[in-house]
Chains A and B, each alone.
Chain A
Amino acid sequence: AQSVTQPDIHITVSEGASLELRCNYSYGATPYLFWYVQSPGQGLQLLLKYFSGDTLVQGIKGFEAEFKRSQSSFNLRKPSVHWSDAAEYFCAVGARGGADGLTFGKGTHLIIQP
């Protein structure tokens, strides 16, 4: 069975500082990996996805993520955070690119300090 672990429940970062959110997955085959962001009271918005090819993927809002097969990780990064980045971030893994539904991590709550 596939699973996703996001070890940090909360992370606090100062505005303008760099950010890295951790994600580890367990999956028996080639994983299809996603990062979603959820603002309060809103649905989930896709930030980026990895299916194959270049292990460093670029997403929206200046985010990027790096797939490391040897570490079973797909960490999300941003060089300089903005107050508007405060939200809940979810890592997800899906078979067949999510065509059969996604398995989500518990999420990381990002707090931005002024």
Chain B
Amino acid sequence: DAGVIQSPRHEVTEMGQEVTLRCKPISGHNSLFWYRQTMMRGLELLIYFNNNVPIDDSGMPEDRFSAKMPNASFSTLKIQPSEPRDSAVYFCASSPDRASYNEQFFGPGTRLTVL
């Protein structure tokens, strides 16, 4: 079975550019999570969806960040405009449903570098 798929694996961009990160959750999973990992702040939950609907985006750092889930098999996290402090590893995770006791399955992450 394919796990959570993220693309690109690495992204290098210049400050001010738009960045789009992509995620394909495991087929049949109804919940999707976006996390950010930095040395200073560790792993932080940015936003999560259930049945393609955003449930909580309180972790999104600024209005420059936006996330969408147009269908059950695809989600994007967009940063516009990007800044050097956005450099981090961004993880997507999916879970079978929003009931309790479910494991979150993580993708390999996208390493973003903003110059």
Contact = CB atoms under 8 A, between A and B. Distances in A.
Interface of A: 32, 36, 41-46, 49, 51, 90, 92, 96-107
Interface of A is mostly: mixed
28 contacts: A32-B101, A36-B106, A41-B108, A42-B108, A43-B3, A43-B93, A43-B107, A43-B109, A44-B91, A44-B93, A46-B104, A51-B101, A96-B100, A97-B100, A97-B101, A97-B102, A98-B102, A99-B31, A99-B99, A99-B102, A100-B48, A100-B56, A101-B33, A101-B45, A101-B48, A101-B59, A106-B42, A107-B42
A104 B42 CA distance: 8
Interface of B: 3-4, 31, 33, 42-45, 48, 55-56, 59, 91, 93, 95, 98-109
Contacts of B95: 98-99
